[in-house]
A and B are shown apart, each in its own frame.
Chain A
Amino acid sequence: QETITAVHAFPETLIYTQSFLSFVDKVNDAGEGVVQIEVRGGPEAIGMFQQPDAVRDGIVDMVYTPGSFYGGALPEKDALVASNLTAIETRQNGGIALIDEIHQEKMGLKYLGWFDSGVCYNLWTRDAPTFDADGNLEVEGLKLRGNAVYNAFFTNYLGAQVIDLPTGEVYAALQRGVVDATGWTQIGLIDLKWNEFLNYRIEPCFFSTDLGVIVNQDRWNELSDEAKTIIQDVAIQHEIDSVNALRAKRDADFAALEEQGMQVVELEGDAKAAYLSAAREKTWERMQELMAEHPMGTANYDRLIELFYDASAD
């Protein structure tokens, strides 16, 4: 029986970590006597942003983390960020296989699976959002909390006044009015208690979560074929299961929020299309620029967009 060690980027109680832990349970059930995953902990065991390096260097065998935490080494993760598809379609059309190939080449990592996909981001505000004559969102005067993932969109397109804050400081910042709007995934707002201060959700949602499991390539190659098959099969199944589980969770969260008085405001028509395409294109732009600086260049750029974006799905 072989054992591989694992850590996860987020605290254990967070929903995304719970999803990963259920994947681990499934592997450990299916792999009894063959392969077991031993979880060493979360950010308390290895720092959140040091985990990608740790798996690359073989300190730990497997990491569950957003691709954005190692976007400097792999700008192609923005294909996932800007995607309007889930792991289910991109597993079928070869998108994930391409991402896996790029991980192997650039970082010596096996990309095992894109979990918890199909969850997108909304803008959430304290006060009722206002719109200009063309129905575009007015960001003038909005104190928007930003971070490295969405600033290309918030600053470059929306022209918003972004205040960078770590997640842990947002609650206090909302409470004191340092910020009055933030981007966040569709789910998780209640867990962070930000709904105590935020009253409006702006639709449509944009972006996608980019959480994935990466495995040290050398360690992966050492595994028996049987072990590899078990882990890979369970991962592919979990890609599908997690999409469905999180959709159910999203619906439950939205219902709970609406019951507490969360209002939904929607952009319409051209304004909506412009908003969505800006989120996507500013991110692609960033991806292309950064890819150009790497030895591999932008050869994969068009294919990535083709595989991770489907205009008809918007």
Chain B
Amino acid sequence: MEWFEALALLIGSIMVLMAVGMPVALAFLAANILGAWVFMGGERGVVALLNNGWGSLSKFALVPIPLFLLMGEIFFHTGLGGRMFSAIDRLLGRLPGRLSYVTVLGGTGFSTLSGSSMGSTALLGSLMVPEMTRRGYKKHMSIGPILGTGGLAIIIPPSALAVLLATLAQIDVGALLIAGIIPGLILAAFYIGTIFLQTRLDPEAAPPYEVENQTIAEKIGLLLRDVIPMIGLMVVIVVMMINGIVTPSEAAAFGALGVLVLAIVYRCLSWAALKASIRGALRVTLMAYLIVFGSATFSQLLAFSGASRGLITWATGFELDPIYMLVVMFCVLLVLGMFMEQISMMLLTVPIFFPLALSLGFDPIWFGLIMLLALEISFTTPPFGLLLFVMKGVAPSDTTMREIYLSAIPFILCSLLVVVLLVLFPPIALWLPGLG
């Protein structure tokens, strides 16, 4: 079978199954059964797919997500989150869309330091979306910024994906990590600009409600009682990570424990709240991990069948100017990113793209950063970005996939804009590492 036939078979079957409304995880599994049957020799292929499934689901790397979810759900169900946001609301006064800005700032800080896109989407999504919806924000004002900052986790150090990319490509890890700082901050600034524009274009997007003026003393009181302890918890976790007391994968457990302790201290931990929190965290985890079960094998079938390698070889086979070759490679990453998980994509593309990039005269660090941006975008590109499904799980139940897609688009455009800036002004990436 030619590579494009294999590609059409695999992607075609999953698109059709998802479009007719088969649950995403089941659609992956069905496409896998078909693909395994065709490419792996019938029945034994299906057995292999199951064999693969338990392998991809018994990894420590998956431990943080349910715990970040638990943390966010406890925050929400005990009312701790509500307290914090009421306080922030009153502290910031009348700024339209204030909680969206808070999301970007808090999300940038937290997701970059945790290094886990899924984890921080899970945490921020379960914490902020229900709370902001309750306060009259349109959903895209909470969903969009969270999806955006979730992706920032892999650009700004520390970032496990950046380390892996640098290792695979045999480039300087430190330089790639440092190269991400300025573009990451620019991206965060673009997010803020996007929210500003959104509140200007549609004043109804963020609630216009008035807040009573507060005296300085009241403000300090609010800050100390309702904001510092919660934010402090996040800070403590981050400090524990930086000092090597916990690995990033372990940090979430302390987050969940910390919120439990706070809830006890604030006397708002009830049996009902705890039950609702576990139930909520479990629902989203199960949904996301059954998709992980299916999509891990789907990525492998794309690779094993030769479909993705064929696409890459074909696309990079043209003789074009360097800048067009860059566009071609970027597009291949975006297309693959819709259907494959990030690590498989790196394993597949790095051995082909990096030598090509070098032969075209690109700086490898600069190119590595552009690849990271493509990977970041692929987390949130319809139809398959896993962050979108996590968001669907944590958002209020009447949230539709379309709303989530539409919320993501402005923030994806921001990332594309950063890529354009990087092409026009490479020093954005290369200036900082060059100092070292």
Contact = CB atoms under 8 A, between A and B. Distances in A.
Query: Direct contact between A and B in the complex (CB less than 8 angstroms)?
Result: yes
Interface of A: 7, 11-13, 40-47, 49-50, 53-54, 57-59, 165-166, 168-169, 171-173, 175-178, 191-193, 196
Nearest to B341: A44
Interface residues of B, number: 47
Contacts of A166: 60-61
Contacts of A54: 48, 51
Contacts of B136: none
Contact of B300 (A47, A57, A192): A47
The majority secondary structure among interface residues of chain A is: loop
Nearest to A48: B55
B51 A43 contact: no
B47 interface: yes
Nearest to B115: A172
A209 to B, nearest CB: 19
Contacts of A47: 52, 55-56, 296, 300
Contact of B160 (A7, A42, A43, A169): A169
B166 A193 contact: yes
A43 B347 contact: yes
A45 B52 CA distance: 11
Nearest to A167: B167
B244 A176 contact: yes
Given A47-B56, A172-B248, A193-B167, 12 more contacts: A13-B351, A46-B52, A49-B55, A50-B48, A57-B47, A171-B167, A177-B244, A192-B167, A193-B166, A193-B172, A193-B173, A196-B173
A61 to B, nearest CB: 11
A165 to B, nearest CB: 8
Given A40-B306, A44-B299, A58-B41, A171 B173 contact: yes
Contact of B304 (A11, A12, A40, A169): A40
A47 B172 CA distance: 27
A57 B36 CA distance: 13
A46 B300 contact: yes
Tell which of A41, A49, A53, A173 has the most Cβ of chain B within 10 Å.
A41
Contacts of B343: 44
B181 interface: no
A132 B242 CA distance: 32
A51 to B, nearest CB: 10
10 contacts: A13-B168, A41-B304, A44-B345, A45-B300, A45-B304, A50-B55, A57-B47, A58-B41, A59-B48, A191-B167
Nearest to A170: B163
B170 interface: yes
B275 interface: no
Nearest to A164: B60
Nearest to B39: A59
Contacts of B244: 173, 176-178
Interface string B262-299: 00000000000000000000000000000000001001
Interface string B155-172: 000101001101111101
B219 interface: no
**Would you list the 5 A-B pairs with minimal beta carbon distance, nearest first?**
A177-B244, A176-B244, A44-B347, A45-B304, A12-B351
A169 B173 contact: no
A118 B309 CA distance: 34
B44 A46 contact: no
B174 A196 contact: yes
Contact of A44 (B169, B172, B300, B306): B300
A13 B300 CA distance: 18
A54 B51 CA distance: 9
Nearest to B309: A41
Interface in B253-267: none
A172 B160 contact: yes
Interface in B314-356: 343-345, 347-348, 350-351
